[in-house]
């Protein structure tokens, strides 16, 4: 297959997000860059999200929270892309494409876990005959993709992808490929997760993966695990020519995508970061750009001892000396780890940061761990300089800026997006 660099560009024309920093993609971007943190009580809950603002009473009952979050993010993304005429609840579509040529790919790590738990409770407490017939349609991991396709009449290929905490990035990568191989003319892609349940808390705690202090401080010596969050993000992807022909406002370009597997351990990354670096290198090659052209890295940066160390190694392996010259920061410092939604939420946050020429901060980082010596943008955002701190003169200060957005999942799944904004 040809690389993305040899094919027509795939552009982003709309974004939407619901995160612990509030409802709205730009709310996430602006609040994160202002140094605000959406974590409270040791978790990143979407406290501002009111399902009834987006769904009827019937629809609320017919959707697990992970689907509800996806529906809200999708409504925003389609409106942002100019695909619909502003119905407040986001139903329907005035998409500028044949519905049969619009795909939908939504990542989730877990799916409808609260629905699963409720069904189990009912089974145990009342008996099998009382388990709700809505159990399967709500908890299945493709429920979100199904809901979006029905709600907006997206009749092209539609499915969920699942690779734990890399799901959202794999979904956008899959959408890119779907467009490049001609399966669709537009794809609605993203990720969603709603795992803030006692079961998930207990399960991740049993792995020693969750922060016991409830603080997300990636790359800091005191980091002690990730802070679980919930949320969703959705992007509208189209071919550049068609987007231009319809006069769409283009937010940026998905320049490339690379994926790899550690093939090493169910939960731990390789110490040397080689698997993660392979995905970063593949994304660069797919985009047809050199390491020196990357201006920013949105790290997976989970705040776990293992990830942040391995990822720092991976960034150095993939970018060489250039790794020391550019800002690297973690969205999870502001919202926690959104698991299967993280890759999509972080792709949206990265794209908006590139557009505004800003390097968002890694919050909570004041004592970098030994050996973790990249420029993690501790504490406060700052202007994003093209070419980083080094040879910007070579590339010139004007022109588009490029970023890699890293996502790595349990199971050893690595997915990296190369994003560009003018």
Partner 1 sequence: MSTAVTAEQVEKVVVESLATFGADPDQITPEATFEALDVDSLDLAELSQIVHEQFGVELKGSDVAEVKSVEDAVQLIASRL
Q: Which residues form the interface with partner 1 (CB under 8 A)?
A: 56-62, 129-130, 132-134, 137
Beta carbons of 322 and 380 less than 8 angstroms apart: no
Smallest distance from partner 1 to CB 89, Å: 14
Distance CA 277, CA 300 (A): 12
Smallest distance from partner 1 to CB 126, Å: 9
Which residues are tagged catalytic?
165, 300, 337
Smallest distance from partner 1 to CB 151, Å: 15
Distance CA 345, CA 333 (A): 13
Smallest distance from partner 1 to CB 149, Å: 17
Smallest distance from partner 1 to CB 53, Å: 16
Alpha carbon of residue 87 to chain centroid: 26
Beta carbons of 337 and 22 less than 8 angstroms apart: no
Distance CA 232, CA 344 (A): 7
Distance CA 92, CA 78 (A): 10
Q: Which is nearer to partner 1, 7 or 60 (CB)?
A: 60
Distance CA 62, CA 133 (A): 11
Query: Helices marked H in 198-341 — which ranges?
Result: 198-206, 240-245, 274-287, 305-319, 332-335
Query: Degrees (nearest 5) of the Cα angle 329, 333, 335?
Result: 125
Q: Which is nearer to partner 1, 134 or 324 (CB)?
A: 134
Q: Which is nearer to partner 1, 122 or 267 (CB)?
A: 122
Q: Which is nearer to partner 1, 2 or 129 (CB)?
A: 129
Q: Which is nearer to partner 1, 63 or 113 (CB)?
A: 63
Q: What are 77's two structure tokens? A: 């993304």
Query: Crossing angle of helices 305-319/274-287, nearest 10°?
Result: 40
């Amino acid at each position: 297959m040809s690389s993305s660099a040899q094919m027509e560009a795939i552009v982003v024309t709309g974004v939407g997000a619901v995160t612990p920093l509030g409802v709205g993609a730009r709310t996430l971007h602006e609040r994160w860059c202002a140094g605000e943190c959406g974590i409270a009580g040791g978790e990143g809950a979407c406290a501002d999200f009111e399902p009834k603002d987006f769904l009827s009473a019937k629809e609320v009952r017919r959707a697990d929270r992970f689907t509800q979050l996806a529906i809200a993010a999708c409504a925003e993304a389609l409106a942002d892309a100019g695909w619909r005429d502003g119905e407040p609840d986001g139903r329907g579509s005035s998409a500028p494409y044949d519905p049969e040529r619009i795909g939908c790919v939504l990542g989730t790590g877990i799916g409808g876990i609260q629905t699963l738990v409720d069904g189990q409770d009912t089974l145990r407490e009342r008996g099998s005959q009382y388990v709700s017939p809505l159990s399967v349609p709500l908890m299945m991991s493709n429920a979100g993709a199904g809901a979006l396709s029905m709600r907006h009449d997206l009749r092209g290929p539609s499915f969920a992808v699942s690779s734990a905490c890399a799901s959202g990035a794999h979904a956008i990568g899959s959408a890119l490929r779907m467009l490049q191989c001609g399966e669709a003319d537009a794809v609605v892609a993203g990720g969603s997760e709603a795992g803030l349940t006692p079961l998930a808390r207990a399960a991740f705690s049993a792995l020693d993966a969750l922060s016991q202090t409830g603080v997300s401080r990636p790359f800091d010596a005191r980091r002690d695990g990730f802070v679980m969050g919930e949320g969703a993000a959705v992007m509208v992807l189209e071919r550049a020519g068609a987007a231009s022909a319809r006069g769409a406002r283009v937010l940026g370009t998905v320049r490339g995508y690379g994926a790899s597997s550690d093939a090493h351990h169910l939960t731990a990354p390789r110490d040397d970061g080689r698997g993660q670096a392979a995905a970063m290198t593949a994304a660069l090659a797919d985009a047809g750009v050199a390491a020196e052209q990357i201006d920013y890295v949105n790290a997976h940066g989970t705040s776990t001892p293992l990830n942040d160390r391995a990822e720092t190694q991976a960034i150095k392996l993939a970018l060489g000396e250039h790794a020391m010259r550019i800002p690297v920061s973690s969205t999870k410092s502001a919202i926690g780890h959104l698991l299967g939604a993280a890759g999509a939420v972080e792709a949206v946050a990265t794209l908006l940061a590139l557009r505004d020429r800003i390097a968002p901060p890694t919050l909570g980082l004041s004592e970098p761990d030994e050996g973790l010596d990249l420029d993690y943008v501790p504490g406060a955002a700052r202007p994003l300089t093209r070419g980083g701190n080094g040879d910007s003169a070579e590339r010139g200060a004007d022109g588009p800026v490029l970023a890699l957005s890293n996502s790595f999942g349990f199971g050893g799944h690595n997915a990296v997006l190369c994003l560009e904004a003018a």
